[in-house]
Structures are given as structure tokens and as C-alpha cells.
Structure 1
Amino acid sequence: MGALHRLYRRARFFVRRVINFDSERVLQFARQSARLTKAPLWWVVIDMIWCSVRYETTFENYSEWDFRILKPRERKTYMTDPKSFHLSRRLNDNAQRAIFDDKLEFAQRFGAELGREWIDLRVTDAAAFAAFTARHPRIIAKNPGGVGGNGISLRESASITDPAAVREELIAAGQVLVEEVLVQHPDMARLYPDSVNSLRMVSYLDPDGEVHVLAGVLKIGNGGVIDNFSNGGMYTMLDERGRAMHPASDEEGHPFAEHPVTGVAITGFTVPLYDEVLDLVDRLARRVPAFPYIGWDIAITPEGPVVIEGNHNSGVFQSKPSVSGIRQGLLPRYRAAMRF
């Protein structure tokens, strides 16, 4: 029965890929992968389609984790976005998704761990908004339902000469959650000062009450005010002590042993206060038992780590073989923790 279900799931996934086939997007990822070998483009496309069926990869996954250069036994070790999505659907209570989908609800639920002041413009008048901007030199406005760094804008409070007009403008744009901008730890700012460089910590709370850290990721900005991979940022994987194991890479697959703007070494960079990060993740993972599988975005402030948001359908992060030399994914770690 299990084998039939897996076969059905993969077939359904493949059909969806065919229906939503974007030839230009596929060719973009195929060209990135073709650069790794001398294989012709048409062969890479065929291999991408095969891997989408055999290993449940997206075309993005195929390119991001260099499937073109991996052997079949190595490909089998990779967690993929579709596999992660299936686990999320199976383990997390879909009826309570709003806790994580709505940033305002998340702020209300996890307020003690946010480490920053926030307001909801829908229930905050112009005078209160003006007082908020007077208290904080920089503010960040968010769409509560935005994903991947979309629906976010950063403002210098000194530039807000008409708070009432700015409030109306933000409400019209759907950016009703306004927060003070976090001041990051000096060591994190040294990497890249123009964005809050955050961590993605993927956790699983098992039925026995033990919290497993499935992945630790250092996300770094590069030219923008957010560090998201899809918005020009880069990432590298962390070891158990919070040390960057290898150079970072961006969405185009470019390797960065040093940050291109600051020149700070990324390989070997150690995240400050990492023991406190692990303690925070342990506390967070126990707050909503109905969601045992979560990806937490964590910022490191001078006072300690704080949570930015939680992702009930966490994206997957793994080492890029052509950058790291690591040719094994995290699927075995997921299996050991989740016992599947």
C-alpha cells in the first residue's frame, strides 16, 4: 500500500509539473546545470524530468543541488521541496496554519520571543503611528500574508514628515504590520550591515517530546535590505556549533567564500550566541505541538537571539556539491528524526 501511494504521489506531482511547465524557467535551470558538465542541454532537460519522477525534485532543486553531477545513490540522499511539503501536510495541523501564515497572529502568539516592538496599523491611529516612528529610527512594514520577502519595505523614520499620509499609504499597500528594525549583533553586521542576516533553523518535535534540529542555515544579504535567497541573498550550512561549513551560494549558483561587499570570510564564520539559538529553537518548537515540523527564522541581536517568523512549510536547505564538495543530502537525518 505504501509503495502504491508513493507511486501515485510521484505521478500526481509529475502531472502537475507538466501542466505548469514553464519552458523558459526550465531552460534557465537546465543551462545552470549544463555548465557543470559537457552534456548537451537536451540531455540535461531529460535528466531533470527523470529526477522529478524518480526523486521528487523540482527543477529548481535539480539545479540548486547539482543533481547533474551526482550519482544515483547520492541523489537518493537529498530532501526535496515536494518531500518536505508532503511531510508538512502529514505532520502539521492544517486547521491552525493561520498561526504561521499570518504574521500578525504570529506576533501575538510569540510576542515574548520577538525582541522588538510592533503595531497593527488597522487598530493604530496616526498619532500612535507617529509616536512609534519617534521611538524607532528605522521601521519595517510588512504584508502579514507575504512570503519569500515580498510585501516588505524599509523606511527611515526621519524621512516620515507626514505620519498620517504614510500610514494611509501603508494600509493601502497591505503593509499593516509595522515593526522596529532589529539591531543585529556586531559580528552578524560585520558580514553584511545592510540587512539583518538571519538563521533558518528547521526543527522537528518528535512524539517523545525531543526537539531535533534538522538543518541550521546562515542566510546573508547581498545588495538588498532582506537576506532571502529569492531576493539576491545567499546561504551556507552550519555545523552543530554554528560554524559555516563552506562558502555561501546564491540563486544563480555563484560561490562566495568571502562576502563580495564587505570582504568578510564566510567559510568558517561562527554565529555568535549559538548555544542560545539552540535554546530558543527548543522553546519555540514546543509552543505549538500541533506543528512539530517548522522552519524558524532567527535573528541575533546584541542581547540575544529572537524569532522573526516560523514557516510551517519550510523550504529545504542543503549544501551545494559544486561549492561545498559535500555530495550527501539531509534525507537520512530527516528519516532518523521522523522515523519514516
Structure 2
Amino acid sequence: MGALDRAYRKARFFVRRVTSFDRERVVQFARQSARLSKAPLWWVTLDMAWCAVRYEATFENYSEWDFRILSGRERSTYMTDPKSFHLSRRLNDDAVRAAFDDKIEFAGRFQGELGREWIDIRSASDDDLAAFLSRHDRVITKDPSGVGGNGIQIRDSADLGTAADARRTLTDAGQVLAEQLIVQHEDMARLYPGSVNSLRVVAYRDPDDEVHILAAVLKIGNGGIIDNFSNGGMYTMLGDDGRALHPASDEEGHAFAVHPSTGVEITGYQVPLFDEVKALVDTLARRVPEMPYIGWDIAITPDGPVVIEGNHNSGVFQSKPSVSGIRQGLLPRYRAAMRF
């Protein structure tokens, strides 16, 4: 990509940010950054705008990775959400995206790696739906097109009533995918038993058929039934051996060296079966060659890791400098693997 193309892309991104300006959100992120550096709010806001142009960093990226306290050289090492989006659009085939956007289509394509039973409420017969609910005391119901953990609910099967009642209730809620609940490995449950604490493993399969793990993230619930960062959860980065590199942080920037509910130490926590996780990701990455750049959500059960879903436009995860002390992002790692 030439310099003119890069300049155009950055200018277009900045214009989009300005036209979609959400003053309340911008002020929220600016205040978080101002508290960190003691800089005036107006100065932080101007710096956020500058980083949107210079580094293609969203206002959320600026706050999440403490850009306010980083030097220009350090800022330039961070992969940002817009940069990741550009890579996804360039590398992944539009014609195959539906297999990842629709959770029911994904379940059918990756049946062998799901490790759990599921049913499509729309097409299941009353007998099949009744049998499914009779086999599982509790189920998780999902909106097939939901993102960020939205449209997900855990239900007692008995409360759903007959198959006809269940179909009506779930169809009205838009939750037409029902799944058997994942039982997580006891070591993962020890962190926080209220949600399935999953991994996000961002992988790239290169033209030479080598699968690179670009980032491995431990996501942990904190008060809710899901572990998503945008729904109250927290995350920490993992080393190549599956050990947590530093405390976890949440969307508000709070640091957690130990989990506030369970008292389990997060820093240095060893994810179980991590070699098996990497092997599963390698298998998954080869299943859809048209989509080489995917963020895989993985759960670890007593029988081994299973896939939850794949994200063709994966969010970016990196260490938060004020929590970890690490002041370098993952852009060099992405560049080395993707050769750009």
C-alpha cells in the first residue's frame, strides 16, 4: 500500500470518527486518560484526535492502552481496531463471512469441535425440541446474529414448558439457537465459577500454511454470566506457555491482581491444557482456508478445549501499560507473521 493510499485511509477514518462523534463516550474515555496522566481534559481530547489521525487509534483504544502516557515511538507499536479491520477486509473472503456471522451456521460447520449439543429452534420438530430439553436441565439460548455477548441467556428447561411453549418464547426473544451448557475445567472454574472463562486466540494462517498465534487472551467473568470485556468482564494477556503475564483489567481500567470474588491470583495463573488449545486452534485455522485471520473463542472443559465461536473481525487485545508495565504493542508481531 502506497503512502497516498495510507494517507487517504487515515483521513477517511478520521472523518468517520468525527461524523459518528459520541460526546458522552469521548468524554468518558478522555476522563479515564486524564486521571492517569493528570493532564487537562481539553489537552487529552486533542491528543485523542491526533492519535486517531496519526495511529488510527479509536478513542476506546487510546484509553484502553494508556496512549496518554506513551511516547510516539511506543504508540506506533500498537495494533489498533481500525488496522485490524483493514487486515480482516483484505485477507478474509467476504463470501465466507456468513459462516462466522451466523452462530447456527457456525455450529453446523464446526460441529466436531463444539463439544456440545445444540438445536435450531426454527427447524427442529416438536419431538426433537422436547427431547433436547429433556436431556438438559439448563440450556443457553442465543441470538444467532448477536455480538459482544448480547442476546444470550441461561434458562431452566423446565421453565420453558412444552416444546410449543419453548419455541414461542425463544422465537419471540430472537434466541433461536439453544445449546447444552459448557461445563468448564475445574481450574478455569476456580477463577470465577459464575461464567465460562474463555480464551480469545487470534490466529493467522500464512500462504505457506503455517498458523501463527498473534495473541492469546484469558477472559474472566466478574459478576455476570459471560466474560466479555464489554459486559463487565476482564482480561489479561497470556504468554506462549499459557501463563497470565500480568493482572487483568476491565473496561473502566481497574486492575485485578487477584479476582475480587474468588480471591484467586490472576498474575501468573496457568491456563490448563494450553498445548491442546494451540493444537485445536491450528486445526480450526485450517478448516476455512478462505478466512486466514480469525479470533477464536475457546472454552476448556474437563475433556479438553472446545470452540465457542470464531470472529472474522476480531477485536484487538494487548497489555495495558499502567497495569502490566509493558509499553509495547503487538503490531510488530502481526507484521512479522503477515509480512506487511
TM-score range, shorter chain: over 0.9
Structure 1 SS opposite 2:21:
coil
- Which residue pairs with 1:332 in the alignment? 332
CA distance in 2, matches of 1:125, 1:28: 49
The amino acid that maps onto 2:81 is D
Asked if residue 267 in structure 1 is aligned to residue 258 in structure 2, the reply is no
The amino acid that maps onto 1:166 is A
Structure 2 SS opposite 1:122:
coil
- Which residue pairs with 1:187 in the alignment? 187
Task: Give the alignment of 1:152-163 within 5 angstroms.
Answer: 152-163=152-163
Structure 2 SS opposite 1:217:
strand
CA distance in 2, matches of 1:130, 1:261: 37
Asked if residue 146 in structure 1 is aligned to residue 146 in structure 2, the reply is yes
CA distance in 2, matches of 1:138, 1:221: 19
Structure 1 SS opposite 2:317:
coil
Deviates more, 1:155-164 or 1:226-235: 155-164
Task: Give the alignment of 1:91-102 within 5 angstroms.
Answer: 91-102=91-102
Task: Give the alignment of 1:33-72 within 5 angstroms.
Answer: 33-72=33-72
Q: Shift of residue 129 of structure 1? A: 1.8
Paired-residue identity, %: 76
Q: Output the TM-score relative to the length of structure 1.
A: 0.98
CA distance in 2, matches of 1:225, 1:186: 17
2:256 and 2:266 in contact (8 A); partners too: yes
CA distance in 1, matches of 2:150, 2:97: 19
Structure 1 SS opposite 2:239:
coil
The amino acid that maps onto 2:147 is V
2:160 and 2:169 in contact (8 A); partners too: no
Number of residues of Structure 1 aligned to a counterpart in Structure 2 = 340
The amino acid that maps onto 1:128 is D
The amino acid that maps onto 1:104 is I
Structure 2 SS opposite 1:188:
helix
Deviations 1:1-39 (A, max 9, x none): 611000000000000001001111100000000011121
CA distance in 2, matches of 1:292, 1:54: 28
Q: Shift of residue 159 of structure 1? A: 3.3
Q: Shift of residue 162 of structure 1? A: 3.7
The amino acid that maps onto 1:247 is P
CA distance in 2, matches of 1:140, 1:105: 17
- Which residue pairs with 1:284 in the alignment? 284
CA distance in 2, matches of 1:160, 1:256: 38
CA distance in 2, matches of 1:113, 1:134: 24
Structure 2 SS opposite 1:49:
helix
- Which residue pairs with 2:224 in the alignment? 224
Q: Shift of residue 306 of structure 1? A: 0.3
Deviates more, 1:128-137 or 1:170-179: 128-137
- Which residue pairs with 1:235 in the alignment? 235
The amino acid that maps onto 2:102 is D
CA distance in 1, matches of 2:56, 2:85: 11
CA distance in 2, matches of 1:130, 1:258: 43
2:151 and 2:175 in contact (8 A); partners too: yes
Q: Shift of residue 136 of structure 1? A: 1.3
2:79 and 2:330 in contact (8 A); partners too: yes
CA distance in 2, matches of 1:163, 1:32: 49
C-alpha RMSD of matched pairs (Å): 0.9
CA distance in 2, matches of 1:311, 1:22: 26
- Which residue pairs with 1:258 in the alignment? 258
- Which residue pairs with 2:297 in the alignment? 297
The amino acid that maps onto 2:135 is R
Q: Shift of residue 210 of structure 1? A: 0.3
- Which residue pairs with 2:308 in the alignment? 308
- Which residue pairs with 1:23 in the alignment? 23
Q: Output the TM-score relative to the length of structure 2.
A: 0.98
Task: Give the alignment of 1:127-138 within 5 angstroms.
Answer: 127-138=127-138
Deviates more, 1:104-113 or 1:153-162: 153-162
Gaps of 5+ in 1: none
- Which residue pairs with 2:73 in the alignment? 73
Segments of 4+ moved more than 4 angstroms: none
Structure 1 SS opposite 2:201:
strand
- Which residue pairs with 1:177 in the alignment? 177
Deviations 1:248-301 (A, max 9, x none): 000000000111111111111111000000000000001111100000000000
